[in-house]
Amino acid sequence: MFDTVLVANRGEIAVRVIRTLRSLGVRSVAVFSDADADAWHVRAADTAVRIGPAPAAESYLSVERLLEAAARTGAQAVHPGYGFLAENAGFARACEEAGLVFIGPPADAIALMGDKIRAKETVKAAGVPVVPGGRDPELAAAARELGAPVLLKPSAGGGGKGMRLVRDMSVLEEEIAAARREARASFGDDTLLVERWVDRPRHIEIQVLADGHGNVVHLGERECSLQRRHQKIIEEAPSVLLDEGTRAAMGAAAVQAARSCGYRGAGTVEFIVPGGDPSSYYFMEMNTRLQVEHPVTELVTGLDLVEWQLRVAAGERLGFAQEDLRLTGHAVEARICAEDPARGFLPSGGTVLLLDEPQGDGVRTDSGLSEGTEVGSLYDPMLSKVIAYGPDRATALRRLRTALAETVTLGVQTNAGFLRRLLAHPAVVAGELDTGLVERVVDELVPAEVPEEVYEAAAAVRLAALHPRAEGWTDPFSVPSGWRLGGTPKPPSFPLRVQEPVTHTPRGSHAVTGDRVSVTLDGVRHTFRRAGDWLGRDGDAWHVRDHDPVAASLNRSAHAGADSLTAPMPGTVTVVKVAVGDEVAAGQSLLVVEAMKMEHVISAPHAGTVAELDVTPGTTVAMDQVLAVVAPHEEVAQ
């Protein structure tokens, strides 16, 4: 076993790897950018090395700086986690050339399986069924030959980045251009492939583990069909869809796929499965790294996958054969992401003001957060994972819903409350899943309005601040009771804003103590956690700000007759397609804002003239910051 391992990653996966290193008595080395100087993974490690400024290209993606950090700290091996350089064959080779062990598969296996086109050809030759499709340079022709719907995918990477589902061939070229742009930004390679789209498919993946002595086993499957924008948000093991025969057949196919590329270490073979015919499964891709959802496999197998990555990398044989492995119980994982369900799940950001993460009683949280953590737009939006285990699926689901209700991350908007409601949806409870389910039911799971008790709690906090408790005598004229000479008492009211501005007058009883506030409305008591202007309950959070109607009115007057286009999320402007004075059509694409590897197109709200343009490519913007103003043609004519 190694003495010292450098963890070439950040956030929750870095903390996760460090935990296993400590249990094995192996010294851990963390790396950090300037943005992560006080991050949890830095404090959790035995030592840490600064590797550069905040942008990933100058820190976590810098092979030179990572290798230098390993040399300075005496590391013998490098664990890449997932994301960043985890599936970069060049990094694996550079580690080997520097005399370091790369804790992952051989560079040739990474390169082969990282090229989705070559990967499909290789596993097909090994007898593994693949989805019909085509590739560059005849991409558009292949797509038209397959016929709508088709799925565009980057050849060089996964994670949903750059994927486009095309149901209307009239927009094929536009979708190909957008997919190329995203693929280039995410992976440095804009090569695409196209596949036939299977309607209402299930996404099922098989965990494999291989040593350097020819032994390859599979550790069962994970159901990953609950997705948004092709990104997994809920994963579970095992899948309710598979019977033992299908599980064994898919497992054998995954083992064949791993053998076909000379695999070593932990990896995942992903399949697309028609929900109505689970025996007709197709290879999609192989992820040559540890998966985000690996904890559910750990809980049902009792194996520590990070430990086995280390042991295999150190030259050890697997300590078990396929017949020794059993799946026991059920595990479900929820990905907590910095995104705002009320704003179409756009990325969010901010400072973590209050944090509670559940542990114990069948619940595990893998996280890289701590109070004071700054969540910005530079890195992936996933903050943590909450995983629940039980003797059966119903117990695991119930425990996870309860754990999500207890999860508190105030200061940064997350999807925890949305995930809790999703796990209670009848189709999810029944196990009737497919990759389009979330998009079909999303409107049912995002409340259209802010509950009245949220405003009541926010007003109660402000009322308590107006009347702090004091010892001794209190001037009765300073008490905010609403009393007026010769008139009916008028309680104070508070202009507040979450989504839309409201003026709220407290009408219930309330109690504000520490970081909690309780209000009683119509005989029902509601209790919230609070920090600053944030309130949280059952996984949901609300940023309740004071609203200044005068300032808002002046702002509206300044742009009367024109529409201000604002940033829907904190991020970076990557594309500017217009200039001041340009004539634009309604719906015309004007700008592109990118945050957390997600692009958002800013379009003209109506036909008109660009009257103001306050950004250029590379400009960093805050949420709701004005980017441009489009004056309608009628105003220009005047």
- For residue range 243-292, what is the model confidence (pLDDT) as tens digits? 999 999 999 999 999 999 999 999 999 999 988 888 889 999 999 999 99
- What tokens were used for 29? 């080395």
Residue carrying structure tokens 């804009």: 190
Mean pLDDT of 34-53: 96
Peptide bond into 381 cis (omega under 30): no
| Per-residue confidence (pLDDT) for residue 82, from 0 to 100 | 95
| Per-residue confidence (pLDDT) for residue 457, from 0 to 100 | 96
Structural domains of the chain ordered from first start = 4-103 (3.40.50.20), 132-196 (3.30.1490.20), 201-445 (3.30.470.20), 447-466+493-547 (3.30.700.40), 561-637 (2.40.50.100)
The C-alpha atoms of residue 77 and residue 582 are separated, in whole angstroms, by 56
| Per-residue confidence (pLDDT) for residue 558, from 0 to 100 | 52
* Angle (CA) 313 317 321, round 5°: 130
How confident is residue 474, by pLDDT bands cut at 50, 70 and 90? low
Residue 422's H or E segment, with its range, is helix 416-423
Lowest mean pLDDT among 307-311, 338-342, 384-388, 595-599: 595-599
How confident is residue 638, by pLDDT bands cut at 50, 70 and 90? very low
For helices 244-260 and 116-125, the axis angle rounded to 10 degrees is: 110
3-class DSSP assignment, residue 624: coil
Mean pLDDT of 600-611: 90
Q: Which residue has the higher pLDDT, 43 or 478?
A: 43
User: What pTM was computed for the model?
Assistant: 0.85
Instruction: Answer yes or no: is pLDDT of 196 > 90.
Output: no
* Residue of 431, 439, 491 whose CA lies nearest to 467: 491
Phi and psi at 168, nearest 5°, equal -125, 110
Query: In this structure, what DSSP letter does residue 188 have?
Result: S
How confident is residue 551, by pLDDT bands cut at 50, 70 and 90? low
The C-alpha atoms of residue 584 and residue 593 are separated, in whole angstroms, by 19
* Residue of 298, 295, 306 whose CA lies nearest to 20: 306
Does residue 189 contact residue 210 with C-beta atoms inside 8 Å?
no
Instruction: Answer yes or no: is pLDDT of 209 > 50.
Output: yes
- Cα 450 to its chain centre, rounded Å, is 24
For helices 11-23 and 305-313, the axis angle rounded to 10 degrees is: 70
- What tokens were used for 563? 């529409």
| Per-residue confidence (pLDDT) for residue 636, from 0 to 100 | 42
| Per-residue confidence (pLDDT) for residue 475, from 0 to 100 | 63
